């Protein structure tokens, strides 16, 4: 029987830092750094089993790290009224044991730990975007408690969603800063949970790149909403400020200009393409999920800037309704996703609306042609 990708039991660990970047850091000369190469190797060792134990169809049937107690691997129903988040923050205290020690729950007093405060506030801001803009009550739509663990591992260079919680490392201090310091990263990880419980996009190839793309979209929309930025004002950077001053780079990814987020003598150049003519065929990174996501990322920015104003109001609504609707299969391609957004735009705003035309133009600008797929969806 094929796995149910919409089920939490079929979850995949989704890390914000791509494995190819960690591998590059791991190969750096240890003499040039105090911690970074060893920290990257340790991070790859922690994350590796979740990538390697994948079925031939791209599935990963419910892997759980041995340090995660079985009773804690499942999401918890929230107790707050709809419209209010229910957050619970844990501290792993530098271990790999999840979830860690409870340090702040919903409504509790602020602690002196900056990472705890950042995680708590970031989860609240992400909840607010989904509720206020799209009417979604938490990750599952039914008020699921938002759990997060900070200070995971020793100089752990990543943040991830594991199907039940968001987990944040403190970085190595030489290349990466603490991962709770970027609200777009917090929003990105929570959005993986939303995708898991809606379209269930398989984390492989084009559907996997769409999975990453959707998280990038909602991650930056959370940040833009908090900062009060319009589509034109926003930086469209994912993980801005996560690099230290030693790195020649502004973020992990740029949605507005894929391939320009970093260009560093040690880390290399950001490999993301911005057009289908440059699509990267690779078996690494689950078929390039963190690389080829640049193509739909650029399409979304083109749409948001064409429409103007706040990107979460129209462009974001089209993307959310596409994700939460019934037009996508778990193995959706770029063309199928584009076709679904075109149909949703027609339904929301009319087939001759500015929004519908802008969606078509945005996908055309990156070389994605929904064509017959869109026509078939309209007939269905």
Active site residues: 189, 290
How many CA atoms within 13 Å lie on the side-chain side of 245?
A: 0
Helices (H), the chain: 19-26, 36-52, 114-134, 183-196, 205-227, 285-288, 294-307, 315-324, 334-349, 354-365, 371-379
CA distance 47 to 29: 22
* DSSP assigned state of 281: P
Name residue 101's beta-bridge partners. Answer: 91
Long-range contacts of 37-40 (CB under 8 A, 24+ apart): 38/155, 39/154, 39/155, 39/156, 39/157, 39/171, 39/172, 40/157, 40/172, 40/175
Whole-number Cα distances in Å, 251 to 10, 134, 172, 186, 294: 30, 27, 16, 14, 14
Query: What is the sign of the dihedral through the CA atoms of 334, 339, 340 and 345?
Result: positive
Cβ burial of 28 (10 Å; 0-12, 13-18, 19+) is middle
Burial per residue of 327-351, b for 16 or more beta-carbon CB atoms within 10 angstroms, e otherwise: bbebbbbbbbbbbbbbbbbbeebee
Whole-number Cα distances in Å, 162 to 68, 139, 328, 345: 11, 13, 23, 32
């Amino acid at each position: 029987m094929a796995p149910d990708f919409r089920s939490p039991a079929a979850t995949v660990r989704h890390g914000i830092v791509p494995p190819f970047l960690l591998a590059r850091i791991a190969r750096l000369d240890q003499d040039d750094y105090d911690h970074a190469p060893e920290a990257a190797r340790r991070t790859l060792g922690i994350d590796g089993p979740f990538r390697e134990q994948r079925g031939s169809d791209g599935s990963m049937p419910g892997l759980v790290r041995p340090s995660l107690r079985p009773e804690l691997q499942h999401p918890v129903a929230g107790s707050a009224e709809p419209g209010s988040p229910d957050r619970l923050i844990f501290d792993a205290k530098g271990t790999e044991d999840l979830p860690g020690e409870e340090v702040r729950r919903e409504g509790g007093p602020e602690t002196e730990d900056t990472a705890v405060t950042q995680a708590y506030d970031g989860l609240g801001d992400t909840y607010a975007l989904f509720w206020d803009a799209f009417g979604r009550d938490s990750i599952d739509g039914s008020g699921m408690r938002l759990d997060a663990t900070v200070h995971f591992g020793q100089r752990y260079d990543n943040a991830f969603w594991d199907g039940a919680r968001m987990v944040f490392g403190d970085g190595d201090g030489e290349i990466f800063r603490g991962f709770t310091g970027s609200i777009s990263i917090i929003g990105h990880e929570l959005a993986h949970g939303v995708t898991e419980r809606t379209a269930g996009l398989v984390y492989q190839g084009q559907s996997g790149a769409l999975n990453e793309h959707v998280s990038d979209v909602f991650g930056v929309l959370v940040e833009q909403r908090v900062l009060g930025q319009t589509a034109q004002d926003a930086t469209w950077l994912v993980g801005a400020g996560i690099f230290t001053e030693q790195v020649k780079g502004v973020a992990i990814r740029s949605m507005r200009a894929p391939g320009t987020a970093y260009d560093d003598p040690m880390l290399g150049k950001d490999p993301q393409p911005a057009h289908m003519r440059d699509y990267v065929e690779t078996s690494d990174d689950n078929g390039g999920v963190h690389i080829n996501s640049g193509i739909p990322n650029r399409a979304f920015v083109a749409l948001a800037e064409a429409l103007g104003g706040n990107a979460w109001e129209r462009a974001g609504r089209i993307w959310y309704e596409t994700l939460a609707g019934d037009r996508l299969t778990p193995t959706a391609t770029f063309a199928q996703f584009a076709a679904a957004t075109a149909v949703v735009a027609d339904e929301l705003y009319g087939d001759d609306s500015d929004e519908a035309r802008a969606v078509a133009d945005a996908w055309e600008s990156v070389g994605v042609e929904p064509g017959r797929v869109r026509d078939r969806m309209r007939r269905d």
